[in-house]
Amino acid sequence: MRRVLFAANWKMHLGPEEARAYLKTFRARYNRRDDRDVWFFAPAVSLEAAAQAIRERGDLLVGAQDIYWEPKGAFTGAISAPLALQAGAKATLVGHSERRQLFGETDDDTRRKVAAALASGLAPLLCVGDTLAEREAGHTTAVVTRQLAGGLSGLDGGALARVVIAYEPVWAIGTGRNATPQDAAAVHREVRAWLGARGAPAPRVLYGGSVNVKNAAELLAERELDGVLVGGASLDPDAWSQLVQTGAA
């Protein structure tokens, strides 16, 4: 059975109290379904509250939005994979385009973060994506492949099989423009081929960028999409509970 992954990226929204209230509403609106998983990437300060709020729901999972690669030490402001784990996270985003563009994160940083996540037992969700200029210059494949190689080099097939990939064209994030299902699928096939050639033939590949309750069905009808990573449209628990039921019988 196809198991679709709906991942919410709350970005810099929803503190602990708000996260608790959100998840209470969400739990009331959405009952477990075996054909989908729902993940919440919460701000670091809300991880524990969010993890507590979903502890009786095995179909729901909380993740961090970023980690630093060192396990502990004098790194003011950063959180490590073991700290995120202690707060209840089971996954982490790595290399979100906002981290790359606003915080100067490099491909090599993403490699260290993916490795740190895997070493501690957090599932890494590596984000890759092209800018509009890169797409228009025909460089989408080169950029995505460089980000995959940069973030995942040195991992064997077993480790790669634990990594989830999100293709998020930068020009589609928070802009109201999204890739067509066909455009997304073409990149997803390349991601799959890249991982397949390195011993991970069945990766989970999500699409992200201005996904909402109106366009999710059309996107998810494309079988190359194993799920979606959603920012803005995940911030309201009613709207998000509707979105995660996309395609439900």
Catalytic site residues? 96, 168
Q: How far apart are CA 217 and CA 46, in angstroms?
A: 30
Decide: 173 and 231 in contact? Cβ < 8 Å.
yes
When the beta carbons of 58 and 104 are compared against ligand PGA, the nearer one is 104
**Partners of 150 in beta bridges:** none
Site residues for ligand PGA per CB under 6 A: 9, 168, 173-174, 208-211, 229-233
Nearest distance in Å: CB 37, ligand PGA: 16
| Kind plus residue range of the DSSP H or E element containing 32 | none
Q: Report CA-CA distances (Å) from 137 to 97, 131, 132, 220.
A: 19, 10, 8, 27
| Residue matched to tokens 């634990």 | 162
| Residue matched to tokens 């679709």 | 4
When the beta carbons of 86 and 101 are compared against ligand PGA, the nearer one is 101
Decide: 81 and 117 in contact? Cβ < 8 Å.
yes
Nearest position to ligand PGA, beta carbon: 231
When the beta carbons of 47 and 127 are compared against ligand PGA, the nearer one is 127
When the beta carbons of 11 and 162 are compared against ligand PGA, the nearer one is 11
When the beta carbons of 13 and 33 are compared against ligand PGA, the nearer one is 13
Query: DSSP alpha helices (H): ranges in 30-171?
Result: 47-53, 81-86, 97-103, 107-120, 132-136, 140-152, 157-160
Nearest distance in Å: CB 96, ligand PGA: 6
φ, ψ for residue 63 (rounded to 5)? -135, 160
- Biggest CA-to-CA distance, the chain: 51
Nearest distance in Å: CB 100, ligand PGA: 11
Nearest distance in Å: CB 222, ligand PGA: 17
Nearest distance in Å: CB 26, ligand PGA: 17
